Amino acid sequence: MARRRLLILSFSPIASDARVLKQVELFRHEYDVTTCAIGEFSADGIDHIRIPDGLPARELDGRLITLRQYRAAYRRIGAVAWSRQALRGREFDAVLANDVEAVPVALELRPRFGVHADLHEYTPRLHEENPAWKRRIQPFWEWICRRYVSRAQSWTTVGEGLARAYEREFGFAPELVVNAAPFTDLKPSAVEDPIRLVHSGACLRSRNLIALIDAVEASDGRFTLDLFLTPNDPGHLAEIAERAGASSTVRLNDPVPYSRLLAILNTFDVGVHVLPPLNFNNEWALPNKLFDYIQARLGVIVGPSREMASYVVEYGIGRVADGFDATAIAEVLAGVRTDEVAAWKSSAGLAADELSAERQNIVWATAVERLMQRS
């Protein structure tokens, strides 16, 4: 009996999109999987349709937006136009569409059993801190959600706050698949003196990295901070490099491939991520790095971000700062004890299985299986 055909559609660079890669690994042994995404990709049994590098996934024609010609504006998006042409005439039993911008293309393909939408963020409020974006672009993404995303057969998203917003504003209720890392069999390392803090991820001003540096430099010498940053904002990266170069407690490291990241993080003591609530998505953030730190058996220090703080408190893996500035971070550090960090790392080890990708991915597996069994 022929296996069912599943298209995994994403307008992100697939090789660096951990969430999409987890979907591919989950489904490639169960279905005939085709991937359509930006960049090169190769995996056994996978038919990959490569969207050319550099094609935008969300770049909108301003004139069409002003005229509120939203359908035409959507079809002018580079990755949308290319994928519609490349996928024309292909038949699938189901499509797993990643993020709201992929859903209209998925629906247009008319897969036999339907579309599952995996929503990586709350796109309608993505840049709401920008008044011009909020006024002109937010209505477009709201239109996409009302007209298209609501017509999928099932949905998942990355956090409870985002799921509630989608249900409240658009009437569909996503299930939860957090951005968990695959289970990694590591042991907590011994706590160092000084205590070794670490932050890994994108170099963006919104990530509050200068506040981390200021807090560590203002501490009592019991901490060091290592940063593993991707060069998203070269100007900001240069600023951080200058600060680190003049510091005896802060070190800037080159980014490392994800395949090596957890083993490297495991050599540290506490992962730090204090993300100011500049917009709705930041306010409700539940990012990959929180679960990377857990799999690496680290303690965790976060700001008072509601979803991250909830996990830190529930699983006893760290502390929550009272605010997002350097002063609040320094105040948390002042009270941290070595034996406390050791307990956090032990608790992370106890939570690692429950909070692993393997446990979370069951929700995707069940959703797609339900689709494939529709008549």
pLDDT at 220: 84
274 is a domain residue = yes
pLDDT tens column, 202-242: 999 999 999 999 999 998 889 999 999 999 999 999 999 99
Asked if residue 10 and residue 72 are part of one domain, the reply reads yes
Nearest to 34 by CA among 26, 16, 43, 46: 46
Question: What is the residue range of 29's domain?
Answer: 5-180+357-372
Asked if residue 220 and residue 74 are part of one domain, the reply reads no
The answer to whether the CB of 169 falls within 8 A of the CB of 141 is no
Under the phi-then-psi rule, with left for phi > 0, alpha for psi from -120 to 50, and beta for the rest, what region is 39?
left
CA distance 257 to 200: 11
Confidence of residue 259 (pLDDT cuts 50, 70, 90): confident
Check pLDDT > 90 for residue 1.
no
Q: What is the pTM of this model?
A: 0.92
DSSP string, 348-361: HHHHTTTTSHHHHT
Token digits for 143? Answer: 């239109």
pLDDT tens column, 152-204: 999 999 999 999 999 999 999 999 999 999 999 999 999 999 999 999 999 99
Check pLDDT > 90 for residue 250.
yes
Asked if residue 109 and residue 124 are part of one domain, the reply reads yes
Asked if residue 164 and residue 217 are part of one domain, the reply reads no
pLDDT tens column, 357-366: 999 999 999 9
Asked if residue 125 and residue 19 are part of one domain, the reply reads yes
Asked if residue 155 and residue 113 are part of one domain, the reply reads yes
189 is a domain residue = no
pLDDT at 87: 98
Helix extents (H) in the chain = 18-27, 62-66, 70-76, 78-87, 103-108, 131-136, 138-147, 160-170, 209-217, 234-245, 258-265, 280-283, 288-295, 306-314, 326-334, 338-351, 357-360, 362-372
The mean pLDDT value for 301-322 works out to 98
- List the CATH number of the domain containing 139: 3.40.50.2000
- Secondary structure letter of residue 124 according to DSSP: G
CA distance 77 to 101: 9
Asked if residue 152 and residue 269 are part of one domain, the reply reads no
The mean pLDDT value for 289-318 works out to 98
Check pLDDT > 90 for residue 308.
yes
Confidence of residue 257 (pLDDT cuts 50, 70, 90): confident
Check pLDDT > 90 for residue 16.
no
Tally the domains of the chain: 2
Question: Within 10 Å of residue 359's Cβ, how many Cβ atoms?
Answer: 13
Asked if residue 53 and residue 11 are part of one domain, the reply reads yes
